[in-house]
């Protein structure tokens, strides 16, 4: 796929949000974290990603797929970054593309202002599951953005796909990074035959992505960051309408788009795996727990047990981040004990044949 021709539902949604920001909600134009992305009506509005280059096998691509050239910066806590790490693992790209995880709890990124965001530990021993920046010696993800663009004034988010050769950010939009990992590195991927966006399912996947993103992936944030009752009620109703829809689909087939694992499943999974431990409590998504949905719960265990996927889930980082980085929601940083669900327990999804 030519790198300038990528079309993705998250990009369309981002442009729609950007239009709203420009026209009605200029107060969030300078958002530097999700906590800043609030409209004057109390609605959470996610602003678009800004680095949108594409790694491509096209002859004239400035970013060709080369083993050892790219590095992925992630947080195990972040569902968007976890999408990308999931692809790295299940496509067998972890030998070709290195990655580094940041610390789970946001900290001050500069002494000269109050911004808090993703930071690296000073040593491997400081934080289990996180590592110092091996490439640039950066203290924070913010420093990477400022290295890539001296005039950058947007959010300092993960994932970050870094080009070691050009010393810049290639892309920070997870929806596009997973498309690159799916196809553009197949010459060096250990599992090149695995296609999570096959041509015959693309329309169906795109349609599923649209409502899953709006009502579930981003929907839980709309619930959690809402500052007025009406937008919260609307977001919760939309969330559970979509979860009920998923439950119905999964009563008839193993995955969202049939009996084959696809992009839509990875995108849904990263929210579901966080649902009972975080979103049900922290984001007030408590009308019904994931484990009260028989099909969705078994489906989540099924995907978790897909080779490579369990290594992308660090529940300690997930819980510590959400409960420790959002003081307006959880000012004392107390972490609920939670159900501590073991997703390695047997599931019933084998009843559906491929």
Catalytic residues: 78, 221
DSSP state of 156: -
Known binding residues are 118, 155-158, 173-174
* Calpha distance 176→170 (Å, rounded): 11
- DSSP tally for the chain: helices H, then strands E: 11, 6
Q: If you compute the radius of gyration of the chain from its CA atoms, what whole number of angstroms results?
A: 19
Q: What is the H or E stretch that residue 235 is in?
A: helix 229-250
Please give the structure tokens belonging to residue 249: 């689909």
CB 101 within 8 A of CB 74: yes
E strands, the chain, are 70-74, 98-101, 107-108, 116-117, 160-163, 168-171
Calculate the alpha carbon distances from 188 to 83, 145, 185, 193 in Å.
20, 28, 6, 11
State the Cα–Cα distance between residues 142 and 149, nearest whole angstrom. 11
C-alpha distances out from residue 293 to 172, 251, 259, 348, Å = 33, 10, 19, 13
Rounded to whole angstroms, the Cα distance separating 73 from 157 reads 10
- β-pair partners for 52: 171
Beta-ladder partners of 119: 140
């Amino acid at each position: 796929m030519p790198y300038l021709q990528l079309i993705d539902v998250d990009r369309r949604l981002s442009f729609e949000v950007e239009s709203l920001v420009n026209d009605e909600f200029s107060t969030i134009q300078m958002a530097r974290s999700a906590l800043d992305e609030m409209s004057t009506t109390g609605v959470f509005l996610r602003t678009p990603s800004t680095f949108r280059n594409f790694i491509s096998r096209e002859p004239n691509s400035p970013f060709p797929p080369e083993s050892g050239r790219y590095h992925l910066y992630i947080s195990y806590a972040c569902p968007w970054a976890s999408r990308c790490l999931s692809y790295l693992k299940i496509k067998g790209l972890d030998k070709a593309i290195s990655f580094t995880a940041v610390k789970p709890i946001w900290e001050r990124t500069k002494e000269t202002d109050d911004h808090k965001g993703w930071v690296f530990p000073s040593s491997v021993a400081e934080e289990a599951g996180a590592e110092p920046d091996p490439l640039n010696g950066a203290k924070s993800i913010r420093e990477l953005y400022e290295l890539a663009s001296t005039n950058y004034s947007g959010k300092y988010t993960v994932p970050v796909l870094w080009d070691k050769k050009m010393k810049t950010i290639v892309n920070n939009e997870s929806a596009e990074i997973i498309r690159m990992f799916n196809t553009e590195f197949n010459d060096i991927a250990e599992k090149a035959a695995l296609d999570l966006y096959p041509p015959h399912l693309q329309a169906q996947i795109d349609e599923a992505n649209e409502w899953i993103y709006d009502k579930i992936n981003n929907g839980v944030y709309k619930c959690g960051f809402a500052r007025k009752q009406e937008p919260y009620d609307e977001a919760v109703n939309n969330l559970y309408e979509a979860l009920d829809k998923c439950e119905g689909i999964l009563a008839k087939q193993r995955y969202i788009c049939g009996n084959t694992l696809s992009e839509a499943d990875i995108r849904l999974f990263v929210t579901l795996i966080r649902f009972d431990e975080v979103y049900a409590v922290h984001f007030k998504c408590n009308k019904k727990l994931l484990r009260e949905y028989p099909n969705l719960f078994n489906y989540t265990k099924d995907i978790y047990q897909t080779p490579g996927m369990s290594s992308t889930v660090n529940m300690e980082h997930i819980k510590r981040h959400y409960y420790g980085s959002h003081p307006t929601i959880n000012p004392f940083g107390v972490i609920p004990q939670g159900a501590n669900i073991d997703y390695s327990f047997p599931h019933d999804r084998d009843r559906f044949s491929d």
